[in-house]
Amino acid sequence: MGKLAQDKTAFEPHPIIVARPGVPGRAQRVRIGWKNDAQGSNTLLSRRDFLIHAAACAAVPFLPTRAFARSAYPTRPIPKTGEPLPVVGLGSTKAVSQLTKRGTAEFKVLLRTLLDGGGTVVDTWSRSAALDKLTGDALQAEGLVKDLFLATKVDAVGAQAGRSMLERTRRLFGKTSDLIQVISLRDLKTQWPILKEWKDADKARYIGATVSSDPDHNAMMHFMRGERPDFIQVNYSVVETDAESGVLPLAADLGIAVLINRPFMNGSYFSRVRGVSLPEWAAEFDCHGWAQFSLKYILAHPAVTCVLTETTNPKHLLENLATAYGRFPDTETKRRMREVMQFI
């Protein structure tokens, strides 16, 4: 276990009082800043960083307590049930891949940041037994798991391998999976009937499948028409726009919930926009940075239920969560946004 992980005090919540505009004399306590780490650096969210970030996020009208954040955070309904889902979630792949080296403390901070910011959705992916154990430990710490909407994936070939992966995930979560997805439509013929069995046995609340590249969109649409899953997960962003022409309208027609992956093309989007000024007109739809530029584009599509943003950085997570507030680009503005990206 790393030094940071052993030093529990480095991760203790550091309460900050933030005035709530428009409600004179009332203030909100938020558990959202953390003390500096043992080396005195600001690798986690320091009070100063948090306040700087908050000032930058003019689209956030005030900073709430966790309970308030959860009741006020923008949601969209899951079409099959009407259950509301917060519109920005956490993709955990990068954070989880660091667990064996860095321990679980930073991941727990990230999960608390998600909840304190009003989010609940965490997408996970079962991998090695060691990583799965650490993921389960972090999720179950401090009762976090009960407040999270946990999505997982089956990434196996063959019925026995699929079932044993699902059983392992079930033990780690310590509760019914909110959503189980067949990853990248892999071994769909075998895995999809198993997921249906699990849902019938109340071992999964929702089931679906994922893809993450444009050439797989036709296969995804075939699956959607044939099986009418509860959820799909697909790549979509201001750069990767293909889903607009088929998958997203079909999901709306069929009443299927949509999770979005690759909002930043796994980070390559940021290399592309580095050093480029954000267009001034982005302020017209309450966009305050390049991350929000892609997220606002995604969330402007009415078929999108929740966008998964992968990050290891609580400040980035807060910036991403803040995108849900304020205005969104209209059709003409979305055209201009695509045009901007063509020249970068």
Ligand X SMILES: NC(=O)c1ccc[n+]([C@@H]2O[C@H](COP(=O)([O-])OP(=O)(O)OC[C@H]3O[C@@H](n4cnc5c(N)ncnc54)[C@H](OP(=O)(O)O)[C@@H]3O)[C@@H](O)[C@H]2O)c1
> What does the binding site for ligand X look like in residue numbers (CB under 6 A)?
91-94, 123, 153, 183-184, 210, 212, 233, 261-267, 270, 291, 308-313, 316, 319-320
DSSP secondary structure string, 56-100? H-TT------HHHHHHHS-EEE-TTT--EEESEEEE-HHHHHTHH
CB of 27 to ligand X, least distance (A): 27
Contact assessment for residue 174 and residue 140, using Cβ atoms and an 8 Å cutoff: yes
Alpha helices in the chain (DSSP H): 3-6, 47-56, 66-72, 93-97, 99-102, 105-116, 129-140, 159-173, 188-200, 217-227, 247-254, 268-273, 290-299, 314-322, 331-342
CB of 4 to ligand X, least distance (A): 16
Instruction: Pick between residue 15 and residue 279 the one whose CB is nearest to ligand X.
Output: 279
CB of 262 to ligand X, least distance (A): 4
Instruction: Pick between residue 10 and residue 209 the one whose CB is nearest to ligand X.
Output: 209
CB of 144 to ligand X, least distance (A): 17
Instruction: Pick between residue 36 and residue 313 the one whose CB is nearest to ligand X.
Output: 313
113/316 Cα distance (integer angstroms):
10
CB of 23 to ligand X, least distance (A): 29
CB of 25 to ligand X, least distance (A): 34
Instruction: Pick between residue 123 and residue 187 the one whose CB is nearest to ligand X.
Output: 123
Nearest to 318 by CA among 141, 142, 64: 64
DSSP secondary structure string, 312-338? S-HHHHHHHHHTTSS----HHHHHHHH
Contact assessment for residue 122 and residue 311, using Cβ atoms and an 8 Å cutoff: no
Instruction: Pick between residue 75 and residue 92 the one whose CB is nearest to ligand X.
Output: 92
Residue number with the smallest Cβ distance to ligand X:
91
Residue type, 328: F
Instruction: Pick between residue 75 and residue 311 the one whose CB is nearest to ligand X.
Output: 311
